[in-house]
Amino acid sequence: MAPPKLELAAEDGARAPSPEDIANASLALSEITVSYGEKPAVFSVDAALPRESMVAIIGPNGAGKSTLLKAALGIVPRLSGSVRIFGQELERARDRVAYVPQRASVDWDFPTRVIDVVLMGFYRELGLLRFLRKGHRERARACLERVGMADFAERQIGQLSGGQQQRVFLARALAQDAELYLLDEPFAGVDAATEKAIIDVLHTLKTARKTVVCVHHDLATVADYFDHVLLINVRKVAEGPTSTTFTAKNLQATYGGRLASTHIDQLKLSS
Amino acid sequence: MPDAILSALLLQAGYNAALVAIGSALLGIAAGAGGTFLFLRKRALVSDAVAHATLPGIGLAFILMVALGGDGRNLVGLLAGSAVSAAVGLLLVDWIVRHTRLAEDVAIGSVLSVFFGLGVVVLTVIQSMSSGRQAGLEGFLLGSTAGMLRQDALVIAVGGALALAVLVLLRRPMTLVAFDPGYAAARGVRVQAVDLAMMALVLAVTVIGLKVVGLILIVAMLIIPPVTARLWSERTDSVVLIAGALGGLAGYLGAAVSASAPNLPTGPIIVLVSFALFCISLLFAPSRGVLAAAIRHRRFQRRVHRRQGLLALARNEPILDPLTLKVLRRDGLIRPDKVATDAGRARAAKALRDERRWDVARQMHQDEGVSGGYDGLTAIETVLTPDEIAAIDARIGTPALADKGVV
């Protein structure tokens, strides 16, 4: 009896981006490998994410989604691979990128107020010596306004709910006025009102021709929120427009047995 | 004794006492402000390892200076030696955390004890040297201000001013790294370098403070003022300023108290004064203080009892809890014979109606923003708009409530 034919998980996952792809991409990753100890968390991931789009990075728990984002920004060291942002080296493109970390990554009892957190978005342009001016405060307030948190400007951050914390982090990223926004699980554990507020802001960013990349965990909203997906599970499984790449077959390849087929049936998938 | 303290406070207790008071105050300012970021980074104990790691450097610097034919007690030479060995200890802690699987507490514990042990051995060797008997190096363990010179005060003043200048220059990167190291790295801040700068700041303060408080107690001057300041403020920059002020105050008061009587050790007294300031703050600080928390808890408890009592009144249930009865009586909501007053009946009806409104609101709004606002106490008017409440009332249907005499 002939052995069962091995099938590649996804054809579009196998192709590495060309130099033109990298130059045209907002965020281009080439053969990124990150390892904690001697077990790779991310292995040789290539991606060329399009400009002016909403991109979701999708995969199961422990698939290395957050790690990939951190490696792209140099927050965790890469074992191999390179990063290009709008065709530039990472260090040259720092001002064009805004990062929204997971809100659980910081101590919310830190002595700082909501407005101070947003003002942190200006620290890089201020450098070491220049003082914060009234204009900065006004800009920070405007950013809080955009996420619906203007009334909370003077609050200590420890008094915020989870959803409010997430909005404050988003406001800090908005203060940077960047071109590429990288968000780590922005919708994790937030209430429906916050989710709506955040997605509205992200859509206005896209309208303003910015690029938004989210590590995302809720498969049910992928098709509604995002126009491009990157599926990873330590390795890249597939990448492409949501309309062609967010398929049952690719999801099965990404999640393996962890995703019940009944669950897949309920998703708005492309065929 | 009070006279003696007063004259010391006014710098009238002699030249040496005045020098010590000024030097201690300057040291306190630098230590309090310099220790704040380490405290906010939750790495305060690294300063203990750094302080203990100064000891072998002091001893070795002494031996080296004697071997070169100089005076082994030269302060600048001794401090330079202590700085070098403290830096080695600091880098070792950093290396252990980074390159082994050991956690920071283990790294601190081992570096602290090994360096201190090595230092004690070196001091013992010096004791047996012919020129070592009068070295007086033990003074660096707990501080000795008896023979403090103008030069010593000057070292503290210059070193402290430099440390504060670095603090002002690096306040933003240090704030970013202490609050959110991931975001700091994403913005191109070199987190490891900023961490080392934080430590170097503490190292500098430790070295200049050796003479006054000694290496065992300097950690108290680095940690207690920031912890105290945190009780008073919710802003990073004011925590730094308050910590500096409290440290300076403790240094000045402590030095004055120790000058008021013979044989009172300066360093330990400064630490005790600092601790007294901490205790006062812990009790009386607004919002984060123990008393404020107790008062808040008491108020909250009374609110709960008042609400429960009102709902019981509205439902004609008997009230048995003595505290509930006390609260209702004191607010004039019930009479001494436990019968509701007019005001009590009105408030009870409102409480019951709000409960119904919440029930409906939770069905209408499924999101956390509304249902999370319901804790049995929050007034519905603070969460929903008048229009929304009117819509809810329409759904409840007034007649049903009117039947029960509630509206």
ipTM of the complex: 0.90
Q: Which residue of B175, B179, B183 is in closest CB contact with A99?
A: B183
Signed CA dihedral, B136, B138, B141, B143: sign only: negative
Alpha-carbon span B12 to A264, nearest angstrom = 84
So what's the pLDDT on residue A271? 59
Higher pLDDT, B377 or B323: B323
**Mean pLDDT of all residues in chain A?**
88
So what's the pLDDT on residue B355? 86
Q: Which residue of B has its CA nearest to A71?
A: B186
Of B284, B368, B240, B254, residue with least CA distance to B5: B254
Instruction: Tally the residues of chain A.
Output: 271
Least reliable range by pLDDT among A90-99, A162-171, B376-385: B376-385
pLDDT tens per residue, range A200-228: 999 999 999 999 999 998 898 999 999 99
Contacts of A72 (CB under 8 A, 6+ apart): A27, A29, A32, A83, A90, A182
Give yes or no for a contact between B355 and B387, defined as CB atoms under 8 angstroms apart. no
Distances from the Cα of A27 to the Cαs of A3, A102, B352, in angstroms?
A: 40, 20, 57
Instruction: Count Cβ atoms within 10 A of the Cβ of residue A169 and give its class: 0-12 exposed, 13-18 middle, 19 or more buried.
Output: buried
Of A188, A245, A271, residue with least CA distance to A13: A245
The values of phi and psi at residue A241, to 5°, are -60, 145
The reply to whether B375 touches chain A by the CB within 8 Å rule is: no
Chain A hits for B234, Cβ within 8 Å: 111-113, 156
The reply to whether B15 touches chain A by the CB within 8 Å rule is: no
Q: Do B176 and A70 touch (CB under 8 A)?
A: no
| Paired strand residues for A235 | A233
Q: Which residue of A74, A172, A191 is in closest CB contact with B185?
A: A74
Alpha-carbon dihedral B201, B206, B208, B213, rounded to 10 degrees: 150
The letter for the amino acid at A37 is G
Query: How large is the average pLDDT for residues A155-167?
Result: 92
Give yes or no for a contact between B66 and B60, defined as CB atoms under 8 angstroms apart. no
* CATH T-level assignment (fold) for domain B2-267: ABC transporter involved in vitamin B12 uptake, BtuC (1.10.3470)
Alpha-carbon span B173 to B286, nearest angstrom = 29
Residue carrying the six token digits 């499924």 = B366
pLDDT tens per residue, range B74-108: 888 999 999 999 999 999 999 999 889 899 999 99
Alpha-carbon span A218 to A30, nearest angstrom = 26
pLDDT at A266 over 90: no
Q: Do A120 and B234 touch (CB under 8 A)?
A: no
The values of phi and psi at residue A108, to 5°, are -80, 0
Higher pLDDT, A265 or A162: A162
Chain A hits for B170, Cβ within 8 Å: 128
Percent of chain B with pLDDT over 70: 93
Q: Do B368 and A191 touch (CB under 8 A)?
A: yes
Least reliable range by pLDDT among A19-23, A56-60, B239-243: A19-23
**Degrees (nearest 5) of the Cα angle A58, A63, A67?**
90
So what's the pLDDT on residue A74? 93
Q: Which residue of B has its CA nearest to A181?
A: B186
So what's the pLDDT on residue A262? 62
Domain residue limits, chain B: 2-267, 291-403
pLDDT tens per residue, range A131-154: 889 999 999 999 999 999 999 999
pLDDT tens per residue, range A71-87: 999 999 999 999 999 99
Residues B61-65: contacts with CB under 8 Å, at least 24 apart = B62/B126, B62/B132, B62/B135, B62/B137, B63/B122, B63/B125, B63/B126, B63/B129
pLDDT at B281 over 70: yes
Least reliable range by pLDDT among A121-125, A168-172, B293-297, B359-363: B359-363
The reply to whether B169 touches chain A by the CB within 8 Å rule is: yes
